[in-house]
Structure formats: C-alpha cells, structure tokens
Structure 1
Amino acid sequence: MTDQPDRTLAPARTPAPPFDAELGAALEELGDLMDPTLTPDKLQARRAAPTIPIDEIIGGRAIRRTERTIEAGGVEIALSIFERDDHETAGIGIYYTHGGGMVAGDRYSGAAEYLQWVEAFDAVVVSVEYRLAPEHPDPAPVDDSYAGLVWAAEHAAELGIDPSRLIVAGVSAGGGLAAGLALRARDQGGPALAGALLICPMLDDRNDTVSSAQIDGFGVWDRTSNDTGWNALLGDRRGTDGVSIYAAPARTTDLSGLPPTFIDCATAEVFRDEDVAYATSIWQHGGVAELHVWPGGYHAFDNFAPAAQLSIEARAARVAWMRRVLGA
C-alpha cells in the first residue's frame, strides 16, 4: 500500500454533527470492538474477526441458498443465490455487492438485510464474492462484480428473475461498486437495470470533503480508514487522472442515462458530502435519484444498531423505494 496522502489542501476540520442518542449509546456498548481507524497493519486482524455463519443468519426461515462458481477472464468467481423456498414466478432480482472498504468482507456480509428483501418481495438475491485489495487492486473488484452481473442477467430465466426488474445494490464499498456497475452497464451496453440501491456508498478516492475531515478518529470508518481502503485499491494512481470512473464513480462528469437511484448516508460519516454531491449531479443531468441523509447517524449505523429507531426508518425507506421502483 502507498503512504498516506498529503492533506495540505484538505479542508480544515470543523466539529462533526452529533450522534443520535440511541445510536451513540449503541456504539459506546461496542467499546474496543469497534476501532474506527483501519490502517494497513490492522487489516489481517479485521479480516480475521469472527462473523456469524450464513446458515445461522438464515436460521429457520424458508429460504434456499445455492452456490455457483463462474469463470470470467480466467478467474473463478463465487456467487451465492438466495430465494424463498416457494419461489416460482420470475420476479425481482437483486444483484448485491458487499461492503468492507474494498479490503474486507465477503458475499454474506449484509445478509441480515438482503434476506429480508428475499422474504418481503419474493426476490432472488445474487451476492458476489469479488476479489479484495490490496492483493487484487483495481480493476479486479469491479471486473469480478460486472462479470457476475452479466451472468445473472444472462441466466435470469434460470434464476427466476424478470430481467426488466433487476437492480444492483450494495453497502459502503459495495455501494460504490454498485454505482460503478450502473455506469459500466450504461457505457458498455450491459444489462438494462431497473434501479441502483446505494447504501452509504464509497464513491470518491480523493477523500477531500468537509465530512471526510470531520470524521477523524471516532465513529465506525474514519478518514484514515478511507485512505487505507483507497490506497489498497488504487495504489499510486489514487488522486490522479488515471482513476477509472467505475472504481471511483464520483470521478465521472456525466451521470445521465442511469436507472432510478437510491442513495442514503448519515450526517456524521465520511461519505456524507460525496454521496450528496453524487445525488445532486444525477439531478443536474436530468436523472432520477432519491436521497436520504439520516440525522445523527454514523457510517452503516443500521448494521451496528438495527433495533434503533433511526435504523428501522432507514431500512424502511429502502424497502419503500424498491416497492415504488419495482412495483413490488
């Protein structure tokens, strides 16, 4: 990984918006388990942290999981497919890219929420295991994810997906990848997407906004963590004109022609300003975007405190958007 970038041109740090009381209390309970600052020397420990097995997450629900492996460009890519046991009619398809700052996580990260979509909409979720940086820098993550998306669209009938009701969805780094997939599908004549669900997406490698300066040394994912993730993904290209818009979608100057897009973020997270700017640019290019900025939230707050009132409202807003966009 490269050294941390020079911040002499970064905005001066101003006080960050306060946390919602309920969310702040939940974060305090996590204590030392939640280190907001990821540096390269901590990466292997972060990856090795215990997670809940996918079969335990599914529990006794009537959900079927199928594992597939596809080959693209000489690389084997694992896909997990989730559907209700009673799924028969072609319906909603959700292609999911997980979070983890481009350096951690797996295709089961985020399952607690996307399995709710399977149940609520009788949707088929296809979650991709893309390769991680720094071992596999850009364009590996987006190439893997795009190959899986093309496969899912081409096999829609087999999967029980209506190709006219296929969306991309992702959280954090996965939200950035989902945005990149929507751009790449537009530019390369790929699958016609019905929507893009971008949950607190990681969009801009420059890390130079006011919100990125504010969130430093606290919360869940701070500006140094952001540096770590982007350095791992892009190396020496980071911050230069050599960065692809599919890796860092905030770099694009043309956000026309995209499917209806949902973007949410929180007031006290690094990605706030770049996410607001992305939604604004979609509107400025005549597109359709729904933006939610949750007051008092930190990054991915609903994952860490799913029972909090703000988390319940945030997840309900995503479900409501899918109902409107997909006619569910």
Structure 2
Amino acid sequence: MKLSEIAPELRGKARWLPRLPLERAWGLRLVRWGTTRARPAAAPDVDVEVTPGWRVYRPREPRSDLTLLWIHGGGLVIGAAVQDDRFCADTARELGITVVSAEYRLAPEARYPAALDDCHAAWTWTREHAADPARVIVGGQSAGGGLAAALVQRLRDAGERPPAQWLFCPMLDDRTAARRDLDARRHRGWDNRLNRFGWRAYLGVEPGAEVVPHYAVPARRENLSGLPPAWIGVGDIDLFHDEDAEYARRLRAAGVDTTVHVAPGAPHGFEAWAPDTGFARDYLATARGWLSRFA
C-alpha cells in the first residue's frame, strides 16, 4: 500500500507502522509481553477498577445508566484490555456512562469458543452489576468488533437482545483471509498474512473452510434478522472494508437499523495509533455521537 493512498494527517504515523512478526513464536511472545507492559492512561474524572477478567471505568459524574461492554482488538492472538484505557476512559467521561472492558483468552493456545465464552462471561457479569441490566450495549474494535458481533448473535438466539452494537473495523469474515490476491496489497496496520494467521489460530482450520463452528465467524451467519441496531466504522483502505460493507448491507436487508461510517484514506485501527490527530478525533466524535442516542 502506497503512503500516498493514506489521508495526509495519518501519513506521519502510518509510515512507521511495523508489520508484526506474529507467525513466529518469539514474535507473538514479544508483542504480548509489550502489551502487558502498557502503562494505563491517566483518567481524570473517571474511576478505574481492575480485576482479572475486566476493567471498569466509572465517571465520577455519571449522566446515564447506560453501560458499554467493550472488547479489545488484536487479531484474536494478541491484545489486552489495558491497551484501550484511554479510549474507554474518554468514552465513559464524554458520555457519562459506565464502560466495562473485557479480557479474553487468546489463540492459538485457546481456540474457539474460548474468547467468545469469556466475552459472554463478561456480559453476564456486566448485566448483574449494571445500573440497568436492559441497557448494556456491546462494542469492540477489530477482532473485538468481530467478537462483539458474534456475542450479539449468540445473545439474540438466547433471547437476550442488547440495545445496540458498536463496531469499529470489525474482523467478521475468515474468507477474506483465504484470498491470497490480497496478500500483495500489504495493508497498513493489519495485512492479510496476519489475518490468515489470526483466523487459523482461532478456528483451528484454514480460513475459508467449508464448515466453521457456529458463532465463530459472524459474517457466515445466514439469518441476520432480529439483531440490534448497529454502527460500523471502517476506513476505505482497511483490509476489512469490503467484508464490513457487505455485513452492513446484509444487516440492512434483514431489517436491522444500520449506520456505516467510512473514513477516507484510513488504514486499519487508525483511531488507536493516531488518536491525537484531528482526523481520528472527528471519527471518534461521530462514533460517540451515534452511541449517545442510547445514553
């Protein structure tokens, strides 16, 4: 991917994005170690409670009984809740809501359904402790967005329907990883070789297999009717753009109220690695503006 394709305000940061050596055992260990060493962001006016299974962000001046269950990204193989400290604290403070950020087990050591089961456990705990159990929204970024979409599907089938789903560049379809023609594109932030590694590690089979476990791949679900309103944000040069756009199209065709925000010239996860740019701030303001409808 050429630097000239990226929005001007993001180019300086994008130039130095590394391609993570996750397929190598030492690389996976190193990146995971670095994530666990991340320093929690300062959270003025927000109290943060840390437990082994989740991080809870409570504004000191709450303005709503809405709760957001947030699921971090990392391609299903890396990541931890602490990496989204700033995002979760800012969301809690700006909207006056409680945010619960879930931890979950990672592949390949813990394959499907471990991560989804952990997110479901976080959902159960969140509802038990929420000011209003009926007002818990599910959201996530990248792999976390895919887990959020899968969790919403599972909850819908169990008769538990969250008010909404809030999905940032969600990782929804393993069949994208099976497309070898996308390898040469070398997408910034997350490329298709890493995507294939992540899906293979999680599913235990090659991406694009004829049969995959139920709820493992949200885009493989045939019937999307009855799911809650969705917000989907993604960059137009993100590896996941096409699968996200197709999922949004199918949601709308199934009668689901769906809002799509496409950021021009935005690579994968830009709001996380370039949060101080006006480009990212505008994007996050749009996303939180949609979420505020439910606050």
TM-score of the two chains, using structure 1 as the length reference: 0.82
Which residue of structure 2 lines up, in the alignment, with residue 188 of structure 1?
A: 158
In 1, distance between residues paired with 2:28 and 2:159?
A: 37
What do the CA deviations read for 1:83-131 (whole angstroms, capped 9, x no partner)? 02344x7611000111011011111222211211110122111111111
SS in 2 for 1:91: coil
User: What 5-or-longer segments of structure 2 have no aligned partner?
Assistant: none
Pick from 38, 42, 45 the counterpart of residue 62 of structure 1.
Answer: 45
* Aligned partners of 2:177 and 2:199 also within 8 Å: no
SS in 2 for 1:143: helix
SS in 1 for 2:162: coil
* Aligned partners of 1:200 and 1:265 also within 8 Å: yes
After the TM superposition, which residues 167-182 of structure 1 pair with which residues of structure 2 at under 5 Å, given as runs? 167-182=137-152
1:140 offset after TM fit, Å?
Answer: 0.2
Q: Is residue 27 of structure 1 aligned with residue 11 of structure 2?
A: no
Pick from 50, 53, 59 the counterpart of residue 39 of structure 2.
Answer: 53
After the TM superposition, which residues 85-96 of structure 1 pair with which residues of structure 2 at under 5 Å, given as runs? 85-87=60-62, 91-96=65-70
1:235 offset after TM fit, Å?
Answer: 1.4
* Aligned partners of 1:210 and 1:273 also within 8 Å: no
After the TM superposition, which residues 248-267 of structure 1 pair with which residues of structure 2 at under 5 Å, given as runs? 248-267=217-236
SS in 2 for 1:58: coil
What do the CA deviations read for 1:39-83 (whole angstroms, capped 9, x no partner)? 2442112212255322xx035x122122345xxxxxxxx122110
* Aligned partners of 1:215 and 1:268 also within 8 Å: no
* Aligned partners of 1:196 and 1:259 also within 8 Å: yes
Which residue of structure 2 lines up, in the alignment, with residue 11 of structure 1?
A: none
1:214 offset after TM fit, Å?
Answer: 6.6
* Aligned partners of 1:214 and 1:270 also within 8 Å: no
Structure with the bigger RCO (C-alpha within 8 Å, sep 6+) is: 1
Which residue of structure 2 lines up, in the alignment, with residue 272 of structure 1?
A: 241
Aligned residues: 293
Pick from 85, 92, 107 the counterpart of residue 133 of structure 1.
Answer: 107
Q: Is residue 102 of structure 1 aligned with residue 86 of structure 2?
A: no
In 2, distance between residues paired with 1:261 and 1:211?
A: 30
Which residue of structure 1 lines up, in the alignment, with residue 265 of structure 2?
A: 296
Residues 49, 68 of structure 1: alpha-carbon distance in 2 compared, 3 angstrom cutoff: closer
User: What 5-or-longer segments of structure 1 have no aligned partner?
Assistant: 1-13, 70-77
1:206 offset after TM fit, Å?
Answer: 1.4
* Aligned partners of 2:187 and 2:267 also within 8 Å: no
Residues 141, 208 of structure 1: alpha-carbon distance in 2 compared, 3 angstrom cutoff: closer
Q: Segments of 4+ in structure 1 off by > 6 A?
A: 14-17, 209-212
**What CA RMSD, in Å, does the superposition of the two structures yield over aligned residues?**
2.4
What do the CA deviations read for 1:227-269 (whole angstroms, capped 9, x no partner)? 1100110112642343234221010111111111000111111
Residues 133, 311 of structure 1: alpha-carbon distance in 2 compared, 3 angstrom cutoff: same
Which residue of structure 2 lines up, in the alignment, with residue 75 of structure 1?
A: none
1:217 offset after TM fit, Å?
Answer: 2.9
- When structure 1 is superposed on structure 2, of 108-117 and 231-240 the one drifting more is 231-240
Which structure: larger Rg? 1
* Aligned partners of 2:73 and 2:143 also within 8 Å: yes
Identity %: 33
Whose strand proportion is higher, 1 or 2? 1
Letter in 1 for 2:58: E
Residues 107, 162 of structure 1: alpha-carbon distance in 2 compared, 3 angstrom cutoff: same
